[in-house]
């Protein structure tokens, strides 16, 4: 019998040829995500709570607008006001993004995943794609839904309304869907790979998304101009039109897009490198 020694390069080619392709890994990751009851519970709650809370805000605005002073009345925006309910959706999408990764570590399913799909970068990419598509679908239902359900309520109480046929409204809805779908999935997804713990990753992700918004009025001007200005949540608010040009954290449109792209890319690359270098 003649023994044939395989070179490392030949072995890697054999392993690579037997590894499932990206399409098969995508289907596998989607099957894992959609087969969990918790996925659909969180999706339903994200949509229902967001639209429901925006409806409540619209009713409260209508019922109390007679007592508004001139400053509050002038600040009322029929477009931006509708986004108030997204806080619930954002938190639930963050939880969904984190648990799509950390649940596999807690159940040790991640070992099986990498045995059947040894090319980790394919699993990483497939999970990211599936999660982003689901996140975009949630925001595509939630954000227009919050807007559309609020406008008839505003009109009923005599408040200013906006039409979906207006350019600014259409731009707001489109930008909102894309930004919320990307930021609320890919950044928590990256933290989940880095931390591998559900509680830690959710805490960091929510803090990263919410704390800058809460802390901006409290921190010194230097911090606003040199730190908070370059965070993705601030850039998102700039692109949505929440920030006024005279705000200390205001960015140009191109700069805001670049900030979001750099943060998402840097976190994805860092977490992908960590995944390839660490044991599972």
Q: What is the pLDDT of residues 3-59, one digit of tens each?
A: 444 344 443 443 444 667 888 899 999 999 999 899 999 999 999 999 999 999 999
The pTM for the full model equals: 0.87
For residues 247 and 17, the model is more confident at 247
Residue 150 is classified by DSSP as H
| Residue 227: other Cβ atoms inside 10 A | 15
Query: Cα separations (Å) of 105 from 101, 121, 193, 197?
Result: 7, 17, 10, 8
Task: Please provide the average confidence, as pLDDT, over all residues in the chain.
Answer: 88
Which domain covers residue 228, as residue numbers?
Answer: 21-277
pLDDT in tens, 146-202: 999 999 999 999 899 999 889 889 988 999 999 999 999 999 999 999 999 999 999
DSSP letter (8 states) at residue 229:
G
Residue 15 placed within a domain: no
Q: Quick check: is 253 in a domain?
A: yes
**Which pLDDT band holds residue 241 (cuts at 50, 70, 90)?**
confident
pLDDT at residue 9 in the model: 45
Residue 174 resides in a domain: yes
Strands (E), 47-93: none
139 inside domain: yes
**265 has a pLDDT exceeding 50:** yes
Residue 197 in domain: yes
Q: What is the pLDDT of residue 65?
A: 86
In angstroms and rounded to an integer, the radius of gyration of the C-alpha atoms of the chain is: 22
pLDDT in tens, 94-107: 999 999 999 999 88
The per-residue pLDDT for 75 is: 84
* Residue that is written with structure tokens 């010194």 in the block: 220
Q: How many domains does the chain have?
A: 1
In a domain, 93, yes or no: yes
Helices of type H across 65-117? 70-75, 86-106, 109-116
What are the counts of helices (DSSP H) followed by strands (DSSP E) for the chain? Answer: 12, 0
Mean pLDDT of 208-212: 87
Q: Nearest to residue 208, comparing CAs of 267, 141, 248?
A: 267
In a domain, 4, yes or no: no
| 9 lies in some domain | no
Query: In which element (H, E) is residue 275 found?
Result: helix 253-277
Tell me the C-alpha distance between 48 and 92, whole Å: 11
Token representation of residue 237: 């608010």
């Amino acid at each position: 019998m003649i023994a044939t020694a395989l070179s490392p390069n030949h072995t890697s080619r054999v392993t690579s040829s037997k590894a499932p392709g990206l399409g098969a890994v995508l289907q596998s990751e989607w099957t894992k995500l959609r087969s969990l009851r918790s996925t659909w519970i969180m999706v339903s709650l994200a949509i229902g709570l967001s639209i429901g809370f925006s409806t409540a805000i619209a009713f409260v605005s209508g019922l109390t607008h007679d007592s508004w002073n001139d400053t509050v009345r002038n600040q009322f925006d029929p477009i931006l006001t509708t986004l108030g309910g997204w806080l619930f959706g954002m938190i639930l999408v963050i939880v969904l993004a984190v648990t799509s990764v950390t649940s596999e570590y807690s159940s040790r399913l991640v070992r099986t995943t990498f045995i059947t799909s040894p090319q980790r970068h394919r699993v990483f990419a497939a999970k990211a794609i599936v999660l982003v598509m689901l996140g975009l679908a949630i925001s595509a239902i939630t954000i227009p839904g919050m807007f559309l359900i609020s406008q008839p309520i505003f009109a009923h109480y005599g408040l200013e309304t906006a039409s979906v046929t207006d350019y600014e409204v259409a731009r707001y809805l489109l930008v909102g869907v894309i930004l919320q779908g990307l930021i609320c999935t890919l950044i928590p997804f990256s933290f989940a790979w880095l931390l591998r713990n559900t509680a830690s990753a959710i805490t960091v992700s929510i803090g990263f998304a919410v704390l800058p918004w809460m802390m901006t009025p409290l921190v010194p001007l230097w911090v606003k101009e040199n730190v908070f200005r370059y965070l993705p949540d601030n850039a998102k608010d700039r692109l949505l039109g929440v920030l006024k040009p005279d705000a200390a954290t205001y960015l140009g449109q191109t700069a805001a897009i670049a900030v979001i792209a750099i943060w998402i890319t840097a976190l994805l690359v860092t977490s992908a490198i960590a995944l390839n270098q660490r044991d599972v």
